[in-house]
Amino acid sequence: MENLFATLDALAVAELIKARKLGARELLEATLARLRTVNGKLNAITDFYEGDLLERSVAAAGEGPFQGIPFVVKQLMADCAGTPTTLGSKFFAKEPVAAADSTAVARMRRAGLVIVGRSNTSEFGLAPTTEPAFGGATVSPWRSDLSPGGSSGGSAAVVAARALPMAHATDGGGSIRIPASLCGLFGLKPSRGRVSLAPLGETLAGAGAQLGVSISVRDSAALLDAIAGDAPGDPYSTPPARGSFLDATQRSPGRLRIAFMHALKGRAPLDPALVAGVEQTAALLADLGHYVEQAEPELDSTVMGVAFGTVMAANTFTNIQLRANGRVPGPGDLEAATRLTAEAGSKISADVYIRAVQTFHRTGRQLGGFLERYDILLSPTLACTHLPLGTVRMDDTLERYEEGLAPMVPFTSVCNMTGVPAMSVPLAWTGDGLPIGMHFVGRLGAEEMLFSLAAQLEQARPWRERRPPLLA
């Protein structure tokens, strides 16, 4: 069967199924065959559902907007009943086994998605690449010596290869937007509390979020429609949208006030391709009728980095303890950077942790004030154009790990700290044809505005026909 996802998005293929022009079983079998072929080259999927587990997924899928569409769920922050969520770690490869779907996964199934497997992630999502010792490195379909980014790199790689139209992704510091940028996809991190993380509670002091990566803007919008909303007892919630996010993609965003930045105070100048990408995007936005000027919020990146590292370390230590349920990691059970991060987290005092969370809140006030003057802040998604495999080392010292981390998160992590929504849109390209994501930040709860703008940009400068050469 022709690879429909090379040309059609998830909503379009679901319409064919609803109109009985395509059989759901036929699509499932053809997609699984292609996924296995693609996975042999990319190593993006850690577990394929087979036999009874697959049939239960088929039976659990509803007749929603994504009826019959195969889907993979990342091995982090989301549970699928009857299987372990490994977090990319050997230590959690077999246990605990999830007793039930997480709230978001249950909603995905009701929307019609057929879960066919789990996608690869860095261990505990700590790295902005996807090269866990357990499961091995995921390769970019754009070039075999590059990483697709992370920690949602497994999901991004299969979507970029057009083996699926969209896939689940999570984001604690940029893990939806980083691989979206490196793989030429659309990826939006929702506002804090927009999508429930139940049965988890607070994740990284509220920094964690989930949605997906996709070829089309409207698929991500419809997915957010399907899984948005809090669950009883959630620590955070975002005010409901005025309408559906999918409807927002059909509306003009109006004339927006957009600030753009392409420099980082106290850091080396960005690659000229990134600067050019921002300037070209700013010019496009002006041509579309938006008010655009260069401006940036006054934020202390050094203080923010220390606070984020404190929260990450303390949560890594605590989450290992809680999830292990009395088990103690042995030699080789955790990667060096994970183990060292957890050890550092075990020594963090209450007052240091609270001060870090207060830095999150203070930064939120500062960014919030800036976003009262502007609707959108534009920048590159990353401070680099590509990510060679092995750049971010998880098998060495924390210093080496942090050295690799630094250029990946300077524009993305502030959105996690402050809870605001942000998206990466594939609007620029390197001279040798690699995608560059442009990063758009909105105020809390402004997903509708972001989706409207993204759809306008998608129409003005479409990207779907640009496909990776590795699996052409």
- Among all residues, which ones are annotated catalytic? 74, 151, 175
List Cβ<8 Å contacts ≥24 apart for 314-320.
314/345, 314/348, 314/353, 315/203, 315/204, 315/205, 315/345, 316/124, 316/126, 316/341, 316/342, 316/345, 317/341, 317/342, 317/343, 317/344, 317/345, 317/346, 317/348, 318/345, 319/124, 320/91, 320/124
- Residue from 30, 40, 74, 44 nearest 187 by CA: 74
Asked if residue 64 lies in contact with residue 110, where contact means CB atoms within 8 angstroms, the answer is yes
In degrees and rounded to multiples of 5, residue 85 shows phi and psi of: -100, 105
Distance CA 117, CA 399 (A): 34
- ω into 199 cis (within 30 of 0): yes
Distance CA 193, CA 207 (A): 10
Kind of pairing between the strands at 376-380 and 257-260 = parallel
Asked if residue 338 lies in contact with residue 125, where contact means CB atoms within 8 angstroms, the answer is no
- Residue from 133, 129, 234, 224 nearest 183 by CA: 129
3-class DSSP state of 446 = coil
At 212, which helix (H) or strand (E)?
strand 209-214
Length of the chain: 472
Q: What is the 3-state secondary structure (H, E, C) of 41-62?
A: HHCCEEEECCHHHHHHHHHHCC
3-class DSSP state of 363 = helix
Asked if residue 408 lies in contact with residue 384, where contact means CB atoms within 8 angstroms, the answer is yes
- Please state, in angstroms and as integers, the Cα–Cα distance from residue 59 to each residue in 15, 73, 103, 175, following that order: 19, 17, 18, 31
